[in-house]
Structures are given as C-alpha cells and as structure tokens.
Amino acid sequence: PHIVKETVKNGDVLVIGCDGIWDQLTDDMVRVVTPRFQKDPQIFAQMLRDHAFFLGSSDNLSVIVVYLPFQGM
C-alpha cells in the first residue's frame, strides 16, 4: 500500500485506486490532470480508469475520487 500523511488544504483531492490503476498511472500523471476535472469527481474517476485500461492494465480497475473541502475552525 501507498500510505502518506498530509495536511489537508481547501480544494485537495484524494484519489484511492487499486493496483490496476497504480501499476499504470504515477502520482505525477494524476497530479497533472487533476485541475482539469475539479468540477466532477465521477468523470475524473472514469477518466483515470479508462486511461489505465488504455495503457494496458489487465488487472481490475477500481478508483474513487474524493474532493476534500476543509473548513477552518
């Protein structure tokens, strides 16, 4: 598993994917396209799934995209 501890900021995006996704896509690849999909997490997740398939993944492809709006105290 890929586990990191980060401070959440307003507008951050969490992408949770199985190995079929991460075997084909790098963190940097996902980071580059994130701004294009800020309005629709479902479309973003579908695009990541489809891109991993296009790149040759033959594993299962599950991905969840969560936008993390953070309200300060």
Whether residue 36 has pLDDT greater than 80: yes
**Sole residue written with tokens 């959440």:** 8
Cβ atoms of 55 and 5 closer than 8 Å? no
Which pLDDT band, with edges at 50, 70 and 90, does 47 fall under?
very high
Q: Once rounded to an integer, what is the mean pLDDT over residues 34-49?
A: 89
Cα torsion angle, 20, 23, 28, 33, sign:
negative
pLDDT score recorded for residue 20: 94
- Residues with Cβ within 8 Å of residue 24, at least 6 apart in sequence: 51, 52, 55, 56, 57
pLDDT score recorded for residue 62: 96
